[in-house]
């Protein structure tokens, strides 16, 4: 059995890795380590050969902080088109890195694809390992701050000019350790002697921290953290967002060697997506014991594994079981998790075949100090790995929902760049078959201030309307505790520790749909037109429509790609004669979605094809019909199924009985009975959950029929789509 720690130390000792490996390449190190017991998560660890080519991506030099003119917690973000993204390709020779060529691209996807073609040799590896590339590939670390090129928002607290945003290494050899068998497989090209003979170091005990009382500086104290949580909760009440992930930073000197700290993490906090990257000349050093996968690709099949919902470990088996049961039954935690699952279904839906997005596993995963709810969402991709990665980066579990808006809110709340925290480390196959990226949580960033070695640890959590400040602050510390302790810093609180354990739960399944699948269309002619109002569930609705056999055209209704002239855009859309129009959900008030509001007004005048409004679209119809949009007097409901009573008319005609359950994601509601020909046909207590026009052509649903937690969503959509045009 080959131990990854002893193997790394043996390679260093024998001049095959790190600063002693000058015969093979640079001192840079790329280690992807799946630690803990072998499982469906922890399969292989990868030790990359000393690299000879790399690409360095930095913040543009002309970047300056931008004064905030519009608070995203109170209104729409400031949109922007980003600057070009630049990468410098480098080659290792004569004992140092040399710049070769500088390339630029408009976004992350294009840049990664360009680097593939420029940096990688076609020569195949002598040995083939199933699930891994057959030739050299790219692996590296991506800072969260690359969000500037994946979301169309203005960042008011950008990284400093020339700050490091990513390092990507060309991996032309690697040692893979199979955790199921304990065997090592060497990926290498013909004639390469690297790691031909591996002599692992002798096992040794991991030294404790040299100090246990180093004080830390935090980016926000508990009072400021509580204030930020309350600001987010108020924004949720106003309908701006459903959930926002807020983090805080702890910083202190790091007296111990970083590898000793990493050893403590691997032994004391084993995690399946751990990683270590080091580029000494760039002052880049990441130590990660991440439990979370952003995206895995195997033979064109994608898997995302959102983590959301957290409880501490128990002090014994009985307390552990009780806490696990409490986590699974906690309404706030499960609603938060359901929201993230719907978000990841949406993100994969944007890049996957219709009908292929599904939930494959639902588990409680217990790590050293915490246990989490984890779902594994799979799909069949229609794009290559660079496009897939750029589409889901940064992950929804560490940003929130709706993602575009909350990324702007995070910038406004945290007041500083996240750097590599909540970014990603991973690799991908240039031939498009495989890839894997983690999310850089439970991660330490090591750097230097002059001659002093410093480290940053960040942690946080998702804030929802049900958040209690004291509990959220405590949760952030639970998550940071393993790293704070490994560094020898004073942890604000102590945590109960345990070993990795995975407990499978019952997988939630939507109703299977069969028959012909529809397709996405670039033009609206004769299709179902879905108006995207900047929501994070739009592609779930699109997939539901396609699964019911209808072609769909997704039209941007607001934001940087939305219409500039509403009247002209509405006229152009209706002249294309779509079969149906669906006004999608989104953040904020319906008055802000001017394109949807105009379509709602015209629908009530019988000037549109059959039209359905969902959530924000439902509110637009209610407002256009003379109703009022008010705060739900009982507070926001996000990610939670509610009991709906209906009269069996309109979209509810094929729903058995007179009740159903539908997931809500809203803070605002249509007050009372609306006028102008709309009749209420569904309620949940005081909330109007559905209405219809007297001629059966216009419908509104406050709930989300596409959510994994809605019982009869497919029937409601099928009834709408069965409506004839005219």
- Taking CA atoms, 133 is separated from 120, 139, 297, 436, 701, in Å, by 12, 11, 12, 11, 47
Which listed residue (29, 333, 706, 711) is catalytic?
706
Active site residue 704: yes
Euclidean distance between CA atoms 718 and 652, whole angstroms: 10
Q: Is the dihedral of CA 248, 365, 462, 423 positive or negative?
A: positive
Tokens for 332?
């706030």
Three-state secondary structure call for residue 185: strand
543 within 8 A of 491, measured Cβ to Cβ = no
Helix axes 4-13 and 258-268, enclosed angle (nearest 10)? 160
Which listed residue (422, 615, 618, 711) is catalytic?
615
- The secondary structure element, H or E, covering residue 293 is strand 293-298
11 within 8 A of 3, measured Cβ to Cβ = no
421 within 8 A of 144, measured Cβ to Cβ = yes
Tokens for 191?
């004639």
Residue 495: left if φ>0, alpha if ψ -120 to 50, beta else—which one? beta
Look-up of token digits 């469906």 = 40
Euclidean distance between CA atoms 510 and 661, whole angstroms: 13
User: Kindly report the CA angle at 340 between 334 and 396, in degrees rounded to 5?
Assistant: 145
Nearest residue to 662 via CA among 723, 556, 585, 603: 585
Euclidean distance between CA atoms 454 and 258, whole angstroms: 10
Active site residue 706: yes
Residue 531: CB atoms within 10 A of its CB come to 28
Active site residue 615: yes
Three-state secondary structure call for residue 577: coil
235 within 8 A of 227, measured Cβ to Cβ = no
What is the maximum span of the chain, computed from C-alpha positions, in angstroms?
A: 81
Ordered DSSP codes for 504-518: E-PPP-PPP--S---
Residues 6+ apart with CB under 8 A from 319: none
Residue 12: left if φ>0, alpha if ψ -120 to 50, beta else—which one? alpha
Tokens for 188?
């290498």
Beta bridge partners of 107: none
Which listed residue (44, 434, 550, 704) is catalytic?
704
Report, as residue numbers or ranges, the catalytic residues.
Answer: 615, 704, 706
């Amino acid at each position: 059995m080959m131990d990854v720690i002893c193997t790394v130390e043996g390679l260093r000792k024998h001049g095959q890795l790190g600063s002693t490996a000058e015969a093979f390449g640079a001192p840079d190190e790329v280690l992807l380590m799946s630690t803990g017991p072998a499982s469906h998560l922890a399969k292989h660890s990868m030790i990359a050969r000393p690299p000879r080519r790399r690409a360095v991506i930095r913040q543009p030099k002309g970047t300056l902080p931008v004064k905030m003119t519009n608070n995203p917690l109170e209104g729409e973000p400031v949109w922007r088109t980003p600057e070009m993204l630049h990468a410098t390709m480098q080659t290792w020779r004569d004992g140092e890195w040399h710049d070769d060529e500088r390339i630029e691209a408009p976004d992350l996807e294009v840049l990664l694809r360009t680097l593939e073609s420029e940096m990688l040799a076609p020569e195949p590896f002598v040995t083939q390992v199933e699930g891994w590339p057959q030739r050299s590939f790219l692996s590296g670390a991506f800072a969260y701050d690359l969000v500037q090129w994946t979301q169309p928002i203005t960042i008011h607290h950008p990284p400093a000019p020339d700050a490091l945003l990513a390092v990507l290494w060309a991996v032309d050899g690697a040692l893979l350790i199979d955790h199921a068998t304990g065997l090592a497989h060497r990926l290498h090209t013909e004639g390469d002697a690297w790691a031909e003979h591996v002599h692992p170091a002798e096992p040794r005990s991991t030294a404790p921290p040299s100090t246990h009382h180093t004080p830390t500086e935090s980016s926000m104290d508990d009072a400021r953290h509580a204030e930020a949580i309350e600001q987010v909760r108020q924004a949720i009440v106003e309908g701006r967002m459903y959930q926002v992930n807020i983090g805080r930073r702890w910083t202190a000197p790091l007296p111990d060697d970083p590898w000793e700290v990493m050893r403590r993490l691997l032994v004391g906090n084993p995690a399946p997506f751990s990683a270590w990257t080091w580029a000494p000349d760039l002052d880049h050093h990441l130590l990660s014991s991440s439990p979370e996968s952003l995206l895995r690709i195997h033979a064109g099949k994608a898997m995302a594994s959102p983590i959301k919902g957290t409880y501490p470990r128990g002090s014994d088996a009985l307390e552990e079981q009780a806490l696990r049961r409490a986590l699974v039954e906690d309404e706030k935690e499960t609603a938060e998790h359901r929201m993230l699952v719907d978000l990841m279904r949406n993100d994969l839906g944007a890049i996957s075949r219709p009908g292929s997005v599904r939930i494959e596993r639902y588990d409680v995963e217990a790590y050293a100090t915490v246990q989490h709810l984890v779902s594994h969402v799979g799909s069949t991709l229609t794009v290559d790995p660079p496009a897939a990665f750029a589409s889901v980066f940064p992950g929804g579990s560490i940003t929130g929902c709706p993602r575009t808006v909350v990324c702007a809110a995070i910038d406004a709340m945290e007041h500083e760049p996240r750097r590599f925290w909540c970014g990603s480390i991973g690799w991908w196959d240039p031939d498009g078959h495989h890839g894997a990226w983690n999310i850089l949580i439970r991660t330490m960033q090591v750097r230097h201030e002059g001659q002093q070695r410093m480290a940053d640890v960040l942690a946080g959590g998702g804030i929802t309307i049900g958040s209690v400040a004291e509990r959220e602050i405590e949760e952030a510390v639970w998550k940071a505790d393993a790293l704070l302790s490994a560094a020898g810093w004073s942890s604000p609180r102590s945590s109960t520790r345990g070993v990795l354990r995975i407990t499978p739960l019952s997988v939630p399944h939507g109703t299977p749909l069969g028959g012909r699948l529809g397709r996405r269309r670039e033009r609206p002619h004769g299709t179902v037109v879905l108006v995207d109002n900047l929501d994070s569930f739009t592609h779930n609705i699109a997939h539901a429509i396609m699964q019911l056999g209808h072609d769909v055209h997704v039209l941007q209704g607001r934001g940087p790609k939305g219409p500039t002239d509403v009247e002209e855009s509405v006229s152009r859309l209706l002249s294309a004669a779509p079969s149906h129009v669906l006004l999608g959900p989104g953040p904020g008030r319906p008055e802000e979605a001017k394109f949807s509001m105009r379509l709602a007004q015209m629908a009530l005048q019988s000037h549109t094809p059959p039209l359905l409004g969902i959530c924000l679209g439902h509110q637009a119809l209610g407002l256009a019909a003379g109703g009022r949009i008010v705060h739900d007097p009982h507070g926001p409901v996000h990610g939670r199924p509610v009991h709906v009573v209906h009269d069996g008319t309109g979209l509810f005609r094929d729903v058995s009985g007179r009740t159903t359950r539908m997931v809500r994601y809203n803070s605002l509601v249509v007050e009372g009975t609306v006028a102008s020909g709309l009749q209420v046909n569904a309620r949940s207590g005081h909330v109007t959950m559905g209405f219809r026009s007297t001629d059966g052509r216009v419908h509104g649903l406050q709930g989300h029929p596409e959510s994994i937690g809605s019982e009869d969503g497919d029937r409601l959509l099928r009834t709408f789509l069965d409506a004839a045009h005219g």
